[in-house]
Amino acid sequence: MKDMMGMMKKAQEMQARMGEMQAELEALEVVGTAGGDAVQVTLTGKGEMRGVKVDPSLLKPDEAEIVEDLIIAAHADAKQKSEEMAQEKMKEVTAGLPIPPGMKMPF
């Protein structure tokens, strides 16, 4: 029975740490870039878009498709960085717990 109580305590501690991690991810911001920094996209650690910056030299009507593609590329760059940061934070929270590889948390 002691093992069960210890396991429950560890689960509660992990749940509290995960809540803290979620708050940290919400506050973190990452910037993805494309086109030699001509386009920048800012995301939170949870992947929500916070801002887009486009170099004025790209704002020509006949180059709209290029700008659109660069925004998508910058968003993908920021999203990848955001996911990497989230994985690092998760490693800190779940240190020592046997979680199967590839399992995304929080559930």
Q: Is the peptide bond before 100 cis (omega within 30 degrees of 0)?
A: no
**For residues 19 and 2, which has the higher predicted lDDT (pLDDT)?**
19
Residues 12-69: pLDDT tens digits?
Answer: 888 888 888 888 878 888 899 999 999 998 988 878 888 889 898 888 888 888 888 9
Q: How far apart are CA 24 and CA 21, in angstroms?
A: 5
Given pLDDT bands bounded at 50, 70 and 90, which one contains residue 107?
A: very low
At 100, the amino acid letter reads P
Residue 33 confidence (pLDDT): 92
- β-partners of residue 49 are 43
Q: How far apart are CA 34 and CA 36, in angstroms?
A: 6
How would you write 48-76 as a 3-class SS string? CEEEEEECHHHCCHHHHHHHHHHHHHHHH
Q: CA gyration radius for the chain?
A: 19
Q: Count of CB atoms within 10 A of residue 43's CB?
A: 24
**For residues 57 and 95, which has the higher predicted lDDT (pLDDT)?**
57
Q: Which two tokens stand for residue 26?
A: 């919400």
